[in-house]
Amino acid sequence: MITLDHGSGGKLSRELIEKILMPELSNPILSQLGDSAILDIASTKIAFTTDSHTVSPLFFPGGDIGKLSVTGTINDLAMVGATPLYLSLSLIMEEGFSEELLKEIVKSISSTAKENDVRIVTGDTKVVEKEKVDKIFINTAGIGIIPQSTDIGPHKIRHKDRIILSGSLGEHSITLMVLRNEMELPKGLKSDCASLYPLVRTLTSKIKDIHAMRDITRGGLGTVLNEFVADASFGIEIEESKIPIQPDVKAYCDILGFDPLYLANEGKLVLFAAPDVADEIVSIMRKHPLGKDAAVIGEVTESHPGIVAMKTSIGGKRIVDSLVGEQLPRIC
Amino acid sequence: MITLDHGSGGKLSRELIEKILMPELSNPILSQLGDSAILDIASTKIAFTTDSHTVSPLFFPGGDIGKLSVTGTINDLAMVGATPLYLSLSLIMEEGFSEELLKEIVKSISSTAKENDVRIVTGDTKVVEKEKVDKIFINTAGIGIIPQSTDIGPHKIRHKDRIILSGSLGEHSITLMVLRNEMELPKGLKSDCASLYPLVRTLTSKIKDIHAMRDITRGGLGTVLNEFVADASFGIEIEESKIPIQPDVKAYCDILGFDPLYLANEGKLVLFAAPDVADEIVSIMRKHPLGKDAAVIGEVTESHPGIVAMKTSIGGKRIVDSLVGEQLPRIC
C-alpha cells in the first residue's frame, strides 16, 4: 500500500523511487535525481523539471497554490544554475470549484511568472467529478537554459566545502500547520514561499565556483543533506546553534514536537562552496531580502562518509537521519 | 462554478481558456493553443507540451493510464512535427493505493517510453489523504526537437486542402463507456490508445508539405475541426459517408445516443495537405498499422469561413458545431 509517508520527501519517498520507479525507468539522466534534469539538446544545456502541487489550504499568508506552483518549478531550475524561461501549466479541478477562486489563482500564477520573467507557454485543464480531487491540483513543468560554463551539482562537492543556509527554517510548514488546526497565527509569521532565482542570479554573477545547491522543500534540511551524502565518499557536519530559526517557529516546534530540521520550506536553499568563498557568499546573500539570515552552518568532512552529524546546542553530537514518516502532509 | 463540461475539450473548455486563463497568461506562444508550444532556444526549435491524466478505469482493453500518459504527450509533440525525446513524470496518488497496481502502471510507462525511444528524465511523486484524489492521476510534460525546415501548423492551411483522417472514430470512448457501465465489451473492441509518432515519422520522411495535424482526443473530430476554423478565413466541408467507424462503435452510438463526431480517440489524427499529395498520404497511411483505415474525409473551402459543414449520408448538409456539454468525463 502507498502511504502518506511515501509522499513525505523523506525515507519512504526515496524507497518508492528506488524500489518501484527506478528499476523500470532508470537512465543516466533520471538517475541523478537532481532538482532538474540536465539535457544536452543541439549542444545547449537545457534544465527540465516538474512538480505537482496539492497544498492545503489553497491560500495562506505568504502565498497560494498558484504562486507555489510557479516558484517551486523556478526554484528547481535555479538550483542547477539555469535561467528559468518557460513553464507548462496543468490544472486538475473538482466539479463545482469556484470560478472566482480559480481567477485568483490564475492571477497569482500570472504575476509570479511575470515577476520572474518566465512565460507559461503550454497547458492543460481537466475537471473530475465531485470528491475525486480535493478542489484543485496544479502541475507545472519548467525549462531553463544553463550557461555552457556552468557546472553545479553534487559531483562538485569537495572535502571541507562550507555548507551555507540562505535563511531560517520552517516558516512554510508551521504557517500551514497553524492554519489547518485553526490556531492563532503569530503576527509576522508567514510562509517563506518565494522564487529563489533572483538570489541565485545575484550569487552566480559574482561567485564562479558554487559547487552545489538545493532548495529545502519536503523532508527539510535534514533530508536534503542526507541526499547529498547518500552513496558519497564524504559526510557532513553541521552546528545546531548556527541554524537560524524564528522564535515563533521554534515555539510551535517545542509545543507540537516538530523538529525544524525536517520542516518544509518554499524559499530557502542550502549551498556548498569552497572555504575561501564562503564568507563572500554569506555577505552577498545577507544583502539580499531572500538571504538576510544566511549563515555557514557546517562543512563537508571525510571522517564519517554517508552520515550527517550535528553538534547540538548543548554540546553533544547526534546523527541527523532522513525524515522517517510524514510530519505534515500536503505542504506543497 | 467549474463544471464537468469545462473539462470536455469542447465549447466550455474553450470558454474557460479564453475567459479565465488567457486574459492573465496570454503571450504569443501560448496564444497559438497548438498541441505543443514551439520554442526557439539557442536557434533550435523545441516543442514543449503537458497533459494530466485522470482516466477511469485505470486499466482498459488497449491501454492503461500509464501508457496513455506517455502516448498522449508523444502525440502532442508529433503533431507539430517534433521528434519526441524527453518526458517528465509526476504521480499524485491516494493514500492506500496499491503498490502492485503502481508497479504495473510504471511498467507500462517504461515499456511505452522505450518503444518510442523517449526517456523519462525528471519526476515528482505526491501522496494525498484517502478520498482527496481518485486512486492516481499522472502528469507528463514532453520535449521534442523540430527540424529547422519543418513548419507544420494551422497557418499553413490553404483553400482546397484535403482533410485526411487516419482511422475510425470512437473506440477509446466507447470502450471506457462500456467498461464503466459494466456492459459486455464486443469481441475485438478496444481503445485505440497508441503513439502516433511512428506513423507521423513515416509520413514526414516521405511527404514534405503536410500543412497541419492534430490528434483527435477530447471533444472529438467535430471539436478539433472547429478549432481549425475558429477565427479563420476558411471553412471546412466533410462527408459523413467517408468517415470510418467500426460497426460495434456505431451500434453503441445508436443505442446510447452518442455522436461519433464528438467521441474521444487516443490514437487518431486529422491532417491537412494540398490536393496533389492527398492520395499519396492516404496510401502511405494505409500501409501502416496505425492508418489502415485512413481516408480523405473532406476539404477546406472558402464558401463558409469559420464553419464546419457535413454532407450527411442521406444527402443533406448540416453544420458541425464544437462539442457542447460533456458526453463522457475522464476519458483521458
ipTM: 0.97
pLDDT value at B327 more than 80: no
Q: For B282-304, what is the mean pLDDT? A: 97
Determine which of B35, B106, B132 to mutate to test the interface with A (most A C-beta atoms within 10 Å). B132
Q: Would strands A83-94 and A119-128 be described as parallel, antiparallel, or unpaired?
A: parallel
Q: Looking at the structure, do residues B92 and B158 belong to the same domain, yes or no?
A: no
Contact criterion met (CB < 8 Å) for B39 and A137: no
**Residue A326's pLDDT is what?**
76
The answer to whether position A12 is within a domain reads: no
d(CA B275, CA B249): 30
CA of A92: how far to CAs of A109, A128, A130, B2, in Å? 15, 7, 12, 11
Q: Looking at the structure, do residues A132 and A172 belong to the same domain, yes or no?
A: no
Q: Which amino acid is at A60?
A: F
Q: Looking at residue A286, what DSSP letter applies? A: H
**Residue A261's pLDDT is what?**
97
Q: Under 8 Å CB-to-CB from A265, ≥6 apart: which residues?
A: A169, A170, A171, A172, A173, A192, A215, A216, A217, A220
* Residue at which a domain ends, from B88, B118, B146: B146
Cβ count within 10 A of residue B230:
13
Q: CB-CB: which of A94, A123, A131 is closest to B50?
A: A123
**Residue B328's pLDDT is what?**
84
Residue closest to B2 by CA, chosen among A66, A95, A89: A95
| Nearest residue of chain A to residue B49 (CA atoms) | A122
**Residue B256's pLDDT is what?**
86
Angle at A106 between CA A104 and CA A111, to 5 degrees: 95
Count residue pairs from A and B with Cβ separation < 8 A. 260
Residue A234 sits in which domain range?
A: 154-319
Tens digit of each residue's pLDDT (9 = 90 or more) over B96-146: 999 999 999 999 999 999 999 999 999 999 999 999 999 999 999 999 999
Q: Looking at the structure, do residues B165 and B299 belong to the same domain, yes or no?
A: yes
Work out the end-to-end distance of chain A between its first and last CA atoms, rounded to an integer number of angstroms. Answer: 22
Q: Looking at the structure, do residues B134 and B161 belong to the same domain, yes or no?
A: no
The answer to whether position A286 is within a domain reads: yes
Whether residue A192 contacts residue A267, with contact meaning beta carbons closer than 8 Å, is answered with yes
Contact criterion met (CB < 8 Å) for A125 and B85: no
Q: Looking at the structure, do residues A259 and A112 belong to the same domain, yes or no?
A: no
The answer to whether position B328 is within a domain reads: no
- Element spanning B256, H or E: helix B247-256
**Residue A150's pLDDT is what?**
96
Q: Which amino acid is at A189?
A: L
d(CA B312, CA B70): 36
Nearest CA of chain B to the CA of A38: how many Å? 8
- Element spanning A93, H or E: strand A83-94
Q: Considering chain B, what percentage of its residues have pLDDT values greater than 70?
A: 100
Q: Looking at residue A321, what DSSP letter applies? A: P
Q: CB-CB: which of B4, B24, B131 is closest to A106?
A: B24
The answer to whether position A325 is within a domain reads: no
pLDDT value at A324 more than 90: no
CA of A222: how far to CAs of A217, A219, A321, in Å? 11, 7, 7
Q: Looking at the structure, do residues A129 and A162 belong to the same domain, yes or no?
A: no
pLDDT value at A325 more than 90: no
Chain B environment of A98 (Cβ under 8 Å)? 1-2
Q: Under 8 Å CB-to-CB from A240, ≥6 apart: which residues?
A: A310, A311, A312, A313
**Helix, strand or coil, per DSSP, at residue A140:** strand
**Helix, strand or coil, per DSSP, at residue A98:** coil
Q: Looking at the structure, do residues B100 and B248 belong to the same domain, yes or no?
A: no
Tens digit of each residue's pLDDT (9 = 90 or more) over A262-296: 999 999 999 999 999 999 999 999 999 999 999 99
Angle at B289 between CA B285 and CA B293, to 5 degrees: 55
Q: Looking at the structure, do residues B202 and B314 belong to the same domain, yes or no?
A: yes
Q: For A286-309, what is the mean pLDDT? A: 97
The answer to whether position B67 is within a domain reads: yes
> Helices in A79-219 by DSSP H: which ranges?
99-115, 171-180, 197-206
d(CA B332, CA B329): 8
Q: How many distinct structural domains can be found in chain B?
A: 2
d(CA A196, CA A72): 9
Q: What length does chain A have?
A: 332
Q: CB-CB: which of A109, A122, A128 is closest to B36?
A: A122
**Residue A239's pLDDT is what?**
98
CATH classification of the domain holding A96: 3.30.1330.10
- Element spanning A270, H or E: strand A269-273
Angle at A168 between CA A162 and CA A169, to 5 degrees: 100
Determine which of B121, B326, B332 to mutate to test the interface with A (most A C-beta atoms within 10 Å). B121
Q: Looking at the structure, do residues B59 and B128 belong to the same domain, yes or no?
A: yes
Chain A environment of B126 (Cβ under 8 Å)? 7, 52, 54, 330
Q: For B290-312, what is the mean pLDDT? A: 97
Cell of A306: 554517508
Contact criterion met (CB < 8 Å) for B49 and A137: no
Q: CB-CB: which of B29, B44, B90 is closest to A119?
A: B29
Buried b / exposed e across A265-287, counting CB within 10 Å, b at 16+? bbbbbbbbbbeebbeebbebbee
The answer to whether position B289 is within a domain reads: yes
Cell of A233: 565518499
- Element spanning A72, H or E: helix A65-78
Q: For B152-163, what is the mean pLDDT? A: 97
Whether residue B171 contacts residue B287, with contact meaning beta carbons closer than 8 Å, is answered with no
Q: For A199-211, what is the mean pLDDT? A: 97
Determine which of B52, B109, B129, B146 to mutate to test the interface with A (most A C-beta atoms within 10 Å). B52
Contact criterion met (CB < 8 Å) for B50 and A90: yes
Q: CB-CB: which of B1, B48, B127 is closest to A6?
A: B127
The answer to whether position B73 is within a domain reads: yes
d(CA B80, CA B78): 5
**Residue B324's pLDDT is what?**
87
Cell of A65: 497554490
Q: For A21-29, what is the mean pLDDT? A: 96
pLDDT value at B325 more than 90: no
Whether residue A69 contacts residue A53, with contact meaning beta carbons closer than 8 Å, is answered with yes
CATH classification of the domain holding B243: 3.90.650.10
Chain A environment of B52 (Cβ under 8 Å)? 90-92, 124, 126, 139
Q: CB-CB: which of A122, A133, A145 is closest to B49?
A: A122
Q: For B45-62, what is the mean pLDDT? A: 98
d(CA B191, CA B63): 7
Tens digit of each residue's pLDDT (9 = 90 or more) over A73-122: 999 999 999 999 999 999 999 999 999 999 999 999 999 999 999 999 99
Q: What length does chain B have?
A: 332
| Nearest residue of chain A to residue B46 (CA atoms) | A41
Q: Looking at the structure, do residues A306 and A173 belong to the same domain, yes or no?
A: yes
In the structure, what pLDDT confidence band is assigned to residue A195 with cuts at 50, 70 and 90?
very high
In the structure, what pLDDT confidence band is assigned to residue B198 with cuts at 50, 70 and 90?
very high
* pTM, two decimal places: 0.97
The answer to whether position A254 is within a domain reads: yes
Whether residue A50 contacts residue B90, with contact meaning beta carbons closer than 8 Å, is answered with yes
d(CA A290, CA A242): 18
Cβ count within 10 A of residue B310:
23
Q: Looking at the structure, do residues B117 and B222 belong to the same domain, yes or no?
A: no
* Residue at which a domain ends, from B146, B172, B202: B146
d(CA B65, CA B105): 7
Contact criterion met (CB < 8 Å) for A1 and B98: yes
Whether residue B330 contacts residue B18, with contact meaning beta carbons closer than 8 Å, is answered with no
pLDDT value at A256 more than 90: no
pLDDT value at B279 more than 90: yes
Q: What is the mean pLDDT of chain B?
A: 96
In the structure, what pLDDT confidence band is assigned to residue A328 with cuts at 50, 70 and 90?
confident
* Residue at which a domain ends, from A95, A127, A146: A146
Q: Looking at the structure, do residues B120 and B158 belong to the same domain, yes or no?
A: no
Q: Under 8 Å CB-to-CB from A276, ≥6 apart: which residues?
A: none
